[in-house]
Structure 1
Amino acid sequence: MKKYLIQFKPFLVFIGTFFSAYIVLTLLYKFYLNNFAANDVDGLTAIVSHNVEQLMRFLNCDISIQKNLFHPYFEVWYNKKYTIRIVEGCNAISVIILFVSFIIAFSGKLKTTVLFIITGSVLIYLLNVIRIAVLTVLLFYFPENVHILHGVLFPLIIYGLVFTLWVFWVNKFSKYAK
């Protein structure tokens, strides 16, 4: 048994570190969410909604994003038509937690690790804001394709970025690089 523990030590350390970081970050996020009433939208989702509105206004879109009075989400009105809603799950925090947990598990030098976590998180956040804006326009014109757009294409794009960042990190900066 000891032979196998020694042989698989790098894998076991990775798994232990990944799940520890993931659990801690998820619990911290859930603790943050518990500070909001059941009918209220958390602050991070509000910021994402505001950034989507800013981006679309910058692109001269007819956009209005407003908090629903009775439910915990923002309504997105594009060209005077209710098109989508932005809920807590749309803020990409769960994706960022997954990204950060992996980078911590494959950490490198402290400064490089911290800078990569910040840079990667900002890239994921920006792609998410762009994703919601593009999804709004596409669902305005193609509402019948909600499943393929929201459920397949856009998760593929955002998780594709996360996977690309992971591969780049492991090959260039992690302690296992080279």
Structure 2
Amino acid sequence: MKTYFIQYRPFLLFLIKFFLVYFVLTFSYKYYLNHFDSVLLFQVDGFTQLVANQVNYVLMFLGYDSIIVPHTNEASIKLILNQIFVARVVEGCNALSVMILFVAFVVAFTGKWLHTILFIIAGCLLIHILNVFRIVMLSIALLKYPEQEHLLHGVVFPLFIYGVVLGLWVFWVNKFSLHVRKNAEK
């Protein structure tokens, strides 16, 4: 049994680090969300509000008549584009859960601490910016092709954001991870 632990030590350390970071960040995020009354007052958390505001600014910059208003029946923000209600921005649209997954993976595949911190900051910033543009593109697509909502919202745009995260992970593992360097030296 001891030989299995020795043999699979890198994998087990990866799992421990990944789940430890993932659970700590997830519980911290849930603690943050608990400060907002999404059930009775339909309050939207501050980060989701920030994302909705940034989407609105980008849409207006692109020349669209864009308005965001709080939803009166649920914890979300209504996005109205050219006087047509096209989407709701909900807590799940802010990509924080995607960033948590990203950070947990990067920390689990250890690199030098400075590289790790800088990559996490740059990666989360990139995920945030691309997420705002993802919502912008989705809103415009829903305005033009509302019948394709399931395909656009359920398939195309999640593939976009998760594809970016996967690309960042591959880049991290191949360029900065200490695990790759150890294996390259053998």
Q: CA separation in 1, counterparts of 2:5 and 2:179?
A: 19
Moved over 4 A (4+): none
Q: How does 1:151-162 map to 2 (within 5 A)?
A: 151-162=154-165
2:173 to 155, 163, 170: 170
Is 1:52 the equivalent of 2:94?
Answer: no
Q: Which runs of 5+ in 1 are unaligned?
A: none
Q: How far apart are residue 106 of structure 1 and its match?
A: 0.7
One-letter identity of the residue aligned with 1:5 = F
Q: CA separation in 2, counterparts of 1:10 and 1:49?
A: 41
Identity %: 50
1:72 is paired with a residue whose SS is: coil
Could you report, residue by residue, the CA deviation over 1:68-113 in whole angstroms, capped at 9, with x for unpaired residues?
A: 1332100000110001100000000000000000001012111110
Q: Which residue of 2 aligns with 1:140?
A: 143
One-letter identity of the residue aligned with 2:2 = K
Q: CA separation in 2, counterparts of 1:18 and 1:41?
A: 29
Q: How does 1:9-158 map to 2 (within 5 A)?
A: 9-38=9-38, 39-158=42-161
Aligned pair count reads 178
Q: CA separation in 1, counterparts of 2:73 and 2:174?
A: 48
Could you report, residue by residue, the CA deviation over 1:135-171 in whole angstroms, capped at 9, with x for unpaired residues?
A: 0010111111111101001111100000000000000
Q: CA separation in 2, counterparts of 1:142 and 1:109?
A: 46
2:86 is paired with a residue whose SS is: strand
Q: Which runs of 5+ in 2 are unaligned?
A: 182-186
Bigger Cα displacement from structure 2, 63-72 vs 157-166: 63-72
